[in-house]
Amino acid sequence: MSKENKDVKYAKLSITIPEDLATEIRESTDNVSAFISQAAQEYLSRQRFIRAVRRAKGAWTDQDYPDLNSAEDILAWLEKLRKGPDRIEGQD
């Protein structure tokens, strides 16, 4: 873990983890602090994403978008989107 970034404040933690996990981590890296820090950041990022998905549940309903009810409808919409506004329909 590089402490070159002067804007980041660091905290020292004492954690207890299973011995076999500690051994595997030590065998995987020379910098245990950076390893644990990166793993925690990735885990927290996933947790924030999961919470956001759960909060968004129900925001999209079939009744709101009847033209996108089937896989074929969605594929047609994507194709139109990919062509962009400056492409002339039928010109490929």
Tokens read off for 46: 């996933």
- pLDDT tens, residue order, the chain (92 aa): 555 678 889 999 999 999 999 999 999 999 999 999 999 999 999 999 999 999 999 888 888 888 888 999 999 989 988 888 766 555 55
pTM of the predicted model, to two decimals? 0.61
